[in-house]
Structure 1
């Protein structure tokens, strides 16, 4: 108040410019601003001391007496003005209260939450800090399309053909600078780190475990020693071919060198298939009979199949038989000649033995046939006794070979085995008999040459790089691509042959067990609940599918479910691993492979240790431990992140596994998909040219399935919070923010069904947020259709 102004006089109210000060996020229309400005100007006129056109008396202006209706008019205008001001004030107060409540809710979620500071969480935080926050720039983030033209993860956040907005570039630059400061405290360079496919993530997890210096039991230590000997390229190159030549001499030599003992054919074959897992004439493995599975039994049978012949062959539909194409024979000839040259074979004898190998391979190849042909002609799973097999293919000592390979499992003449191509087995026996007795080259040991060149192929992974390069050139000559596999990944893949139980033991962690089982229980529970509300249109199909779904139980699986470390050490007690000789270690690995094959007789299922997706076994849905590895899952991660990444993967896996393609979408689901797709086209502006894409049935199913999986994982996480309200966080994100941001960072390239998804899966976040009050921000695009208008497409409870 001014010093010269009486206290009883009030200062005039400052003029309020409504056009310049609208309520936040509540824009005023132009007609509203005009009305408010008009009222203000008229109010000023009402308070003017004089009015134009007033009369004067004696040269002085006289006040004009207003009629009564003018007084009423002024009063009405004043009432309108005051009412307008009051309404605006109420709107501002209401908005302010809502904003405070929203901020309070978000603050409650974040301020009282413990920030995760484990090493795994630090890596995850660094990864998230260098990624685009979808809630900061929804217009740029959610419009990427999955498909052949999809951008790489390092360009995520850009629209196709456009750069990042300037403010986003600055934000990312600042994030990169923050990350640079953190790199000294983190393991590895995390800038630009992307989500891997699940198989690679599992392999990297095993790599880290095998390269760690932690104290381990003897079995794990032997696995680590094998792994490191495989990585020791220098020792492998130094050894060269000598380890294999030594093995050949121990086996009695061969005709290529001119010195060999004329040992019995079947005795040599038994040694090769028993000790070195080399199957030159046929393949042996253990498995179920589909007819037994239908009857509900788990009995396992010895199965005999075609061999993996080295000679390239093709199937001739017209002739209904396999043939060797002329254009492939020259590369194959070069391969064989190079093999023998590397082994130091004399050039004169190598030509003869290469000819023998190609001739024998061709005779066996013509009797092979593709799986589809054998299935069509009922040649798979033909049951026959060992005694009957010996009568139909007498060149092989079947009883002796089977007993050698499957010892100590008993094999009797009356036992049944399953054949997968009886015509080939008969033809193979005839070819062997001919080369043993009648062929003019039998004195050169042609069958021995054939067996030892197959043995060489078995040991190629354990020999120096010249053999690997020879194989690579052979496949390139055939027009095949040869991907370059990192040495560490190659070594872990080889270990699976015999160290599978050790690798499974490495994956097993009781803390992981508990958290993984809790996640599976919550997700499967929500999945069944959602499944009850689905309408497939066909009542009988729906009831059958519901009965199947509700009969299933999820189970976490690992090969070491019943094996402790002491039991594992005992199993590997007779294994000796050298720190310098990878070739001798590889022989040990092949012996372990035979033991693994024999264990299958007593196992309920033959599973891949590198499996990263669930599978059905009886009335159980089995989830391998290989799914629960970083960066998709970690015991120290906030649950919001575990559910936001792996939880959604699990939900999608369940849908794909149980529904597959054997279902039709109901009208309600189809309408929802069409709604989402229409909104996506409007948001991306793809309908402007009138060339909107029409979705196929597979694409419609995938949109519905992926959104359903997002719903299931989100509701499962909410259910877990009801049981255990505490959860940590990263980067001070709220729970929902972390859940959805984690999901948004997962590249759709990592999933096998990504090709059927016509839009970026993270676009579905806009649908979820339109039906949930838990999202950290409204997903509005100022220059595009407001994304929250998707509310009519899909309620969260659907």
Structure 2
């Protein structure tokens, strides 16, 4: 209570104190209850301020929402490589063409280059090698790097080569015993001359002999014997009139060679004519591949002893031993012979000529050698050979070959002879760890997409599907370069067996001999890994059946096909589809019903027929849609490559945030994917080889893109358009 009384006293005291007037007080009049004028102004200003602030907040929110909506999509890649790629796409594409009816022209319509996309990339890689070889650097005296740079420099020194004239070449001819064309000839034993040509000069006038990995055990070498490569482009079914014109041009060329070497014009004409006769007879000895296949005699394994009995004019053991030193050969050494009947007939011809026209046989071999050595001779010999090739291309209705600059020839020769050194330097320059890591991640994404995709193929039963998935899982990959070239330091290859100078021809021949010995030695050394078939700067990927490994050289993993800074759509569309295509070759045998007994035959046959009809709906420049089972397999691989690469790209979008696009190109990421796929195929129709197993470039684009509904969806193609058919196949 005491507390309550105190509260009442406090309330009384508060009521007696000067009171604060309140608006709701009943004692105040209406006028007294109004706020003063300043208070009303402040209240109005406050309301205006609050409204303005609210409006500003709403406006800012709207701007932020618009900005967010505009930027929630992919941003533009602003790296220089992306701008360069954009420029390439704009330079090659023709945006006036409807992509739904002619996507090839939409992407490649302005391509005026004489080469295709792969050739353009190969030339760019050679330019990269040129920059390396022409860069100023200090190398350890006698090192492989120094010799490679010296060889390239001497190749480019045309003034010294021209000043040497025919002297170095005449010296070579004298070492071989000379020839009657010049009046000085020492009749050496035929097999002695042949042995020198094969082992010291890398020239094989009557047959080719080289080492190859064994078909089954790839780490075991086998000596392969093939018919020779002829300078004249003869065909078995060619018209006699065309043959006569070809031989006329070739005779003119051989006469030029003899005259350049100071021969008597009458003797030159006589010896050149008989040389052509020898070439013609050798060519007729060759049997068409179809005939060999029908007889089951394409490649036959024989021993040196057995071949000696069947083709006795050649001292096989002596010639092969000299060529493949330091291999130790014996009469029981097995050989793989391609076209044994040719070798038998060739031997009879040689025996005949040794008895009746040994001097003409000598001239035939030397004239062939001059052609082989032409890259190392002066401009007169090179011009004569270039004119011959251009004329022969005209006669065989092939497009003319563009003139190649001197530096490109020198880069190629240096790369051939000093590949280990240049490989290491190229990889250091063009295939760093970031590029290697990005390429490997791309491959793994493609590989995983293929394994997943195999589950949805209707023509595979469970047993076949499991085998196929295991095969992909066990597949090995080699990326960029062989292991030795990926080391931090350039390979310390000394090349002690190469002696440069005093003339470029002598340097060239020293490199020929060293390369041959190095090749043989590499086959004799233990080689646990896959032996590469291409240089690291090459642009050709491949699948090795014996080693079950796919190879993607560093030269392929370059702009405009690949770069770590590109939008993922570019890399998946270009190199990703190339990777998927090589993987699809693992299953070539499954696509032929007779080779896949565990497949569902009815479902597979239905899809095969569907694909054939699908491709037949397009007009092909050569009017050939399949051209046998090989072209069919290539068409199926093209479809599979795009399907797998597209699936891998779509899966990458789900796993990774932040896709980009090319700047100022108005293409979505998915459209860029298809654009990059087609860009790889860009080429002029005239560059298509009619005998090539691939379909023409437009068909290689239209066939696959029309096989997926995603293309039509992202380019808004109307139903029934050429590239948006009513139904699609599911071979892949």
Give the CA deviation at 1:655: 3.3
Aligned twin of 1:749: 681
Q: 2:364 aligns with which of 422, 430, 450?
A: 450
Q: Does 1:633 align with 2:558?
A: no
Q: 2:108 aligns with which of 149, 153, 161?
A: 153
Give the CA deviation at 1:448: 1.8
Do the aligned partners of 2:581 and 2:640 also contact (CA within 8 Å) in 1? Answer: yes
What SS does structure 1 have at the residue aligned with 2:199? helix
- What are the within-5 Å matches in structure 2 for residues 673-752 of structure 1? 705=640, 707-718=642-653, 721=656, 731=663, 737-738=668-669, 740-741=671-672, 743-745=674-676, 746-747=678-679, 749-750=681-682, 752=694
Aligned Cα RMSD in Å? 4.9
- TM-aligned CA distance change 1:309 to 1:222, over 3 Å: same
- TM-aligned CA distance change 1:194 to 1:651, over 3 Å: farther
Do the aligned partners of 2:478 and 2:549 also contact (CA within 8 Å) in 1? Answer: yes
Q: Does 1:124 align with 2:50?
A: no
- TM-aligned CA distance change 1:786 to 1:110, over 3 Å: farther
Do the aligned partners of 1:146 and 1:748 also contact (CA within 8 Å) in 2? Answer: no
Q: Does 1:107 align with 2:71?
A: yes
Deviation per CA, 1:775-797: give whole Å up to 9, x if none: xxx8668xx6799xx99989x9x
Distance 2:544 2:706 in 1: 31
Q: Does 1:348 align with 2:266?
A: yes
Give the CA deviation at 1:535: 1.4
What SS does structure 1 have at the residue aligned with 2:579? helix
Do the aligned partners of 1:614 and 1:654 also contact (CA within 8 Å) in 2? Answer: no
| Structure 1 runs not aligned, ≥5 long | 1-96, 157-191, 687-694, 771-777
- TM-aligned CA distance change 1:200 to 1:239, over 3 Å: farther
Do the aligned partners of 2:573 and 2:646 also contact (CA within 8 Å) in 1? Answer: no
Q: 1:433 aligns with which of 336, 341, 351?
A: 351
Distance 1:667 1:298 in 2: 36
Give the CA deviation at 1:121: 4.2
Deviation per CA, 1:416-440: give whole Å up to 9, x if none: 122223333233333333333x31x
Deviation per CA, 1:608-627: give whole Å up to 9, x if none: 32352231343333333332
Do the aligned partners of 1:145 and 1:759 also contact (CA within 8 Å) in 2? Answer: yes
Q: Does 1:143 align with 2:104?
A: no
TM-score (norm. length: structure 1) = 0.65
What SS does structure 1 have at the residue aligned with 2:224? strand
Distance 1:269 1:300 in 2: 23
Aligned twin of 2:44: none
Q: 1:203 aligns with which of 123, 127, 147?
A: 123
Q: Does 1:654 align with 2:583?
A: yes
Distance 2:242 2:225 in 1: 23
Do the aligned partners of 1:257 and 1:345 also contact (CA within 8 Å) in 2? Answer: yes
Aligned twin of 1:462: 376
What SS does structure 2 have at the residue aligned with 1:256? helix
| Structure 2 runs not aligned, ≥5 long | 1-60, 594-600, 620-624, 684-693
TM-score (norm. length: structure 2) = 0.70
What SS does structure 2 have at the residue aligned with 1:333? helix
Q: 2:544 aligns with which of 616, 632, 645?
A: 616
Q: Does 1:549 align with 2:510?
A: no
Do the aligned partners of 2:93 and 2:106 also contact (CA within 8 Å) in 1? Answer: no
- What are the within-5 Å matches in structure 2 for residues 11-90 of structure 1? none
Give the CA deviation at 1:280: 0.9
- TM-aligned CA distance change 1:567 to 1:415, over 3 Å: farther
Do the aligned partners of 1:643 and 1:717 also contact (CA within 8 Å) in 2? Answer: no
Deviates most, 451-460 or 475-484: 475-484
Deviation per CA, 1:357-400: give whole Å up to 9, x if none: 23433443443323333333233332222233334333322222
Q: 2:441 aligns with which of 506, 518, 533?
A: 518
Q: 1:392 aligns with which of 310, 335, 356?
A: 310
Distance 2:602 2:167 in 1: 64
Give the CA deviation at 1:516: 1.3
Do the aligned partners of 1:521 and 1:554 also contact (CA within 8 Å) in 2? Answer: no
Distance 1:607 1:613 in 2: 10
Give the CA deviation at 1:205: 1.9
What SS does structure 2 have at the residue aligned with 1:459? helix
Distance 2:310 2:92 in 1: 65
Distance 2:725 2:264 in 1: 79
Deviation per CA, 1:507-545: give whole Å up to 9, x if none: 433413222111111211112111222211666655554
What SS does structure 2 have at the residue aligned with 1:570? coil
What SS does structure 1 have at the residue aligned with 2:702? coil
